[in-house]
Amino acid sequence: EAQVTQNPRYLITVTGKKLTVTCSQNMNHEYMSWYRQDPGLGLRQIYYSMNVEVTDKGDVPEGYKVSRKEKRNFPLILESPSPNQTSLYFCASSETRYTEAFFGQGTRLTVV
């Protein structure tokens, strides 16, 4: 089954403790991206990747890192999480940036 898998689904952590949210797709898609969703602000892009080893910043990249060492995986790294990074995070992939997007199930992160 074609899917985008994020882990974990729920995470509560403390300020400053490094964490990684994983994202994996099984569709051989070139384009992957990370979004955060906040009440009243909607979805905003954090980072995107055009292909292996090609990544770039979206609208809200501060406090986040990404890597794309393999085509299927696009982890989101928070080196020193802060409470303002409490949010619902989505990973998405598409064959190219011009084609339909497939979204992961979401990761609800709480930083206390």
Partner 1 sequence: KNEVEQSPQNLTAQEEEFITINCSYSVGISALHWLQQHPGGGIVSLFMLSSGKKKHGRLIATINIQEKHSSLHITASHPRDSAVYICAVRSLGAGSYQLTFGKGTKLSVIP
Site residues (vs partner 1, CB under 8 A)? 33, 40-45, 48, 50, 56, 58-59, 88, 90, 92, 97-103, 105-106, 108
- Min dist CB 85 to partner 1, Å, is 17
Q: Which is nearer to partner 1, 14 or 41 (CB)?
A: 41
Quote the DSSP letter at residue 85.
Answer: G
* Residue 3: CA count within 13 A, CB half-sphere: 7
In whole angstroms, how far apart are CA 65 and each of 27, 39, 61, 74?
23, 23, 8, 10
- Min dist CB 72 to partner 1, Å, is 19
Q: Which is nearer to partner 1, 15 or 96 (CB)?
A: 96
Q: Which is nearer to partner 1, 69 or 98 (CB)?
A: 98
State the pairing for strand pair 54-57/107-111.
unpaired
